[in-house]
Structure 1
Amino acid sequence: MKKYALLFIAFFLSVSSFAQKNNKVQTNKKTEKAKPTPLKEEAVVTTFTKIKIIENYERVLEKGYKTEAMLKAVADYRFFAEDLAAAAKWYTQLFEFCPDELEPVYYYRYAESLKSIGQTEKAEEMMTLFQSKKV
């Protein structure tokens, strides 16, 4: 009988050690609603699911597949990230791809990026085109 009692206790202890742990629950004193804390595994998964769209667009553009939307997205991203040398490269390709169909703001951004790389003559030309198109 003692043998069966010891087996039962050993079995119970081994099963209880593999039981699932209860998530900690935080309560908000104002609303008294329980909010489960996020698991660390969930946080890791969400950080790896981000897609770097601009970098993918740049790779596609460098292979020769160009669209106006991709060129605008990459050039604007580089312009606002203050990488004006890369922005000048993509704005140059944008203006070669569709020179007459662009909004006036693109002339301004192109002029600013050209100034940063030292092409002041072309930048002044783009700025005068910006002034004439914005009216």
Structure 2
Amino acid sequence: MKKYALFFIAFFLSVSSFAQKDSKVPTNKKTEKAKPAPPKEEVVVPAFTKIKVIENYERVLEKGYKTEAMLQAVADYRFFAEDMPAAAKWYEQLFEFCPDELEAVYYFRYAESLKSIGQTEKSKEMMALFQIKKT
């Protein structure tokens, strides 16, 4: 009987010692220390692979082929690049191409670009349409 008792004691002591070992997988996310992100490798893109999409879109649009997505992309690019005369030009073409299907944000951007180039009356009209469209 003593042999069995010693065996069980030795067994439980060895099992409990394994339970106290530090594991690789943390069980509690709050106690896990934040690991620094690995350094990012700088990707070098060859010069011949850089395509200037907006400039290509503009050339295609000036040749007469128009899609809503291309007009939106070019107008938004010019708007956020703060090239307001060009943005107003492309937004005007966008509104001529599909005036009823546009989201309210395009009315706002067109109004802002018109206001910045001094066409305040048309800008007020677009802002009024924006107010109607956003509700």
Category of TM-score, reference length = shorter chain: 0.5 to 0.7
Which residue of 1 is the match for residue 102 of structure 2? 102
Partner of 1:4: none
Amino acid of the residue matched to residue 133 of structure 1?
K
Deviation at 1:53, TM superposition (A): 0.2
Alignment match, 2:87: 87
Instruction: State the alpha-carbon separation in 1 of the partners of residues 129 and 65 from structure 2.
Output: 28
User: What's the CA shift string for 1:57-85, capped at 9, x where partnerless?
Assistant: 00000000000000000000000000011
Matching residue's letter, 1:64: G
Structure with greater Cα Rg = 2
How many Å separate the matches in 1 of 2:47 and 2:131? 44
Q: Which amino acid aligns with 1:65?
A: Y
Name the amino acid aligned to 2:51: I
Alpha-carbon distance between aligned partners in 2 of 1:81 and 1:123, rounded to the nearest angstrom: 19
Instruction: Return 5+ residue gaps in structure 2 as ranges.
Output: 1-40
How far is 1:114 from its partner? Answer: 0.3
Structure 1 residue aligned with 2:53: 53
- Residue 123 of structure 2 corresponds to 123
For 1:89 and 1:110, the matched residues in 2 are separated by: 9
Residue 117 of structure 1, CA deviation: 1.0
Q: Distance in 2 between matches of 1:90 and 1:48?
A: 28
Residues in 2 aligned to 1:74 and 1:122: alpha-carbon distance in whole angstroms: 21
What is the CA–CA distance in structure 1 between the aligned matches of 2:106 and 2:129, rounded to whole Å?
10
Displacement after TM superposition at 1:55 (Å): 0.1
Considering only aligned residues, what root-mean-square deviation do their CA atoms show, in Å? 1.9
1:68 counterpart = 2:78: no
Q: So what's the TM-score if we normalise by structure 2?
A: 0.67
Q: Give distance in 2, aligned partners of 1:102 and 1:72.
A: 10
Identity of aligned residues (%): 81
Residue-pair matches, total: 96
TM-score (norm 1): 0.67
| C-alpha displacement of 1:116 | 1.0
